[in-house]
Structure 1
């Protein structure tokens, strides 16, 4: 597969021949020639682009990463990523500004850049002669000082990974997590009550939690320290339940927002049940609207049998209302 790159100051055009090469598999990538960006402040940074034509994490999407050729502490990028069709018109896939690039990242991710099926369905327009043309338009600015808030988050992450000064042990099945009562109690009213009342956990310095999987508990504790979750996509439903159990509204909202923005025919009914059972109106409304709009796809879905009669009635009312409008 041959690629031709054009080096520019604020844009980079990459022509990729035979993009849908049948010999490439999921997880296999192609790499662009390096290109240099010259920002408004005169700084120069060299990058390359790595694309996964058959997807990396998901087989249905083209994925990619913008990666610096040298060490890069931090900078701000403003960008637009487009596919040029056969008439050189821009088919915009992604646009954003003021993106903060971190040194520890492998690269800036273009996760879910464009659906492979969309490329195939519009192959004559977007892949003339089998060639995909990608246009990056970027500005790069001076390194900016680290946000003090992010410094605090980094320090708390370090605290979470260090056993020093810990005063509570949490046991979950076959793992043990050492933590700090002050952090857990300030982030969860359930833990606060556990540590301030005359509970055995407060006296023994040990808590046993067996009603969730260890990796879900680990994500829960990690969020208490850093407001970050490592495996949100994999554990979102269980983490949503755990957040509700431990009265952590910010984590519950994060999980609810993720599920709301990633509704599919496979998960909409289970997310509807979950939202209804854990009093999350935004997720319930989003799932209900999705199901009503695609109701024919759900009539034979076995998950429908698990939905309560009250929710089924609400779905049918929504369908009738939709037909009358």
Structure 2
């Protein structure tokens, strides 16, 4: 028997749980030059350089294996390392790009479990004659470009409540918002940043230190409290010693544009840089000068997202100039993969003139890559 009753009010649960599945999504593009030459040998096997997502370098897990058969081309994805003993669950979409970077041939490799050394893929990804036919547009300038879109299940995160304990987040501690308002209002400032004919009233305590939130357990539950940690060692040293800036309460900046200084100051106050994408290169120089390590990391990620044939040389110069080793290594890998196109750019020509040591580093990487390919080809022939 059913009873109709007024809807009841759901009370705040005494216990609760939340399960989150963390997914890592990333793309990889593999370009093979002179592809028609490789197709002349049946059973020819090519392997791409190792690739992995930015936020999980331990998951160096994938190689694209391309095999030339009698009538078709096979493509496989192989797990090299990382993951758990039970394997890694991943979904992959493979495409061939045309000259306009559009996806011309796409196949979806559904969710599969990969164990170290195992591979999944397509034995007959595309007919070889169809691929080599110039009219079909798969090989612009005789280059085959394979685009791989990956979705990997990284981990399962379980979150549960403390028994009989309420969680409180007090609005009084909206630090980013409050400090942003303080920066905009210019109230209670005690030092002035001067850039050309513009002046920015700011606060020594904010430039030299940052408010950091940490959680406190009290009788009413959890709440957040703030403490001051070091923000910029450069500003801290400037104000803690008998410097001209400390005596005059005035800091003059002659080598950075005013708009970049505003963005840097906003980051110091709020931890955010709204215009990062369009001024990452100039902001990186400012972050390096004033020892803002978190801002340097944000700039490096923004520059990495802009990596292209046209920008590669300029980004490599910036990474070297500001000692960002990870960005430098990733840019060199990109240049090695797209060497022919990159070397035709004006940026590359400028780098030859102004930064020849970077050319030497890039070519050392090219020689190392070539030697590894020769060793692999030798191993394959010995196996056959």
* Corresponding residue pairs, total: 196
Structure 1 counterpart of 2:199: 176
Q: RMSD across aligned C-alpha pairs, in angstroms?
A: 3.1
1:118 Cα deviation after fit: 6.5
1:167 matched to 2:190? The reply is yes
Indicate yes or no: 2:272 matched with 1:228. yes
Whole-Å Cα distance in 1 between the matches of residues 317 and 262 of structure 2?
25
Q: 1:161 to 1:272 in 2, by over 3 A?
A: same
Equivalent in 344, 347, 360 of residue 313 of structure 1: 360
The verdict on how the C-alpha distance between 1:119 and 1:289 changes in structure 2, with shifts beyond 3 A counting, is closer
Once residues 324 and 101 of structure 2 are traced to their aligned partners in structure 1, the CA distance between those partners, rounded to angstroms, is 33
CA offset at residue 259 of structure 1? 1.0
Check 1:121–1:175 CA distance in 2 against 1; reply closer, same or farther (3 A cut). Answer: farther
1:149 to partner: Cα distance: 9.9
Distance 1:149 1:321, change over 3 A: farther
Deviations 1:267-302 (A, max 9, x none): 111110111111110110111111010001022222
2 CA distance for matches of 1:311 and 1:150?
47
User: Does the CA-based 8 Å contact 2:343-2:349 persist in structure 1?
Assistant: no
- The 8 Å contact of residues 194 and 252 in structure 2, kept in 1 or not, is answered as yes
Q: Which residue of 2 aligns with 1:252?
A: 296
SS in 2 for 1:233: coil
1:203–1:301: structure 2 CA closer, same or farther, 3 Å change rule? same
Structure with greater strand percent: 2
2:305 is equivalent to residue 261 of structure 1: yes
Shift of 1:249: 0.6
CA distance in structure 2 between the partners assigned to 1:157 and 1:120 by the alignment: 43
What is the Cα deviation at residue 322 of structure 1? 2.6
Matched, 1:322 2:366: no
What does residue 324 of structure 2 align with?
280
Question: Which residue number corresponds to residue 338 of structure 2?
Answer: 294
After TM superposition, give the deviation of residue 148 of structure 1 in Å: 6.3
C-alpha contact 2:310 2:342 (8 A) present in aligned 1: no
Query: Aligned match of 2:252 in 208, 225, 229?
Result: 208
The answer as to 2:235 corresponding to 1:191 is: yes
The Cα offsets for residues 183-220 of structure 1, whole Å up to 9 and x where unpaired, read as: 10122111111111111211111111121000000000
Give the drift of 1:231: 0.9
Residue 148 to residue 282, structure 1, CA distance change in 2 (3 Å)? farther
Flag the 1:219–1:320 CA change in 2: closer, same or farther, 3 A: same
Q: CA deviation at 1:305?
A: 2.9
- Distance change >3 Å, CA 299–CA 118, structure 1 → 2: closer
Asked if 1:153 corresponds to 2:171, the answer is no
Report the structure number with the largest CA radius of gyration.
Answer: 2
1:150 CA drift (Å): 7.3
Q: Structure 1, unaligned stretches of length 5 or more?
A: 1-40, 42-77, 79-114, 123-143
1:303 counterpart residue number: 347
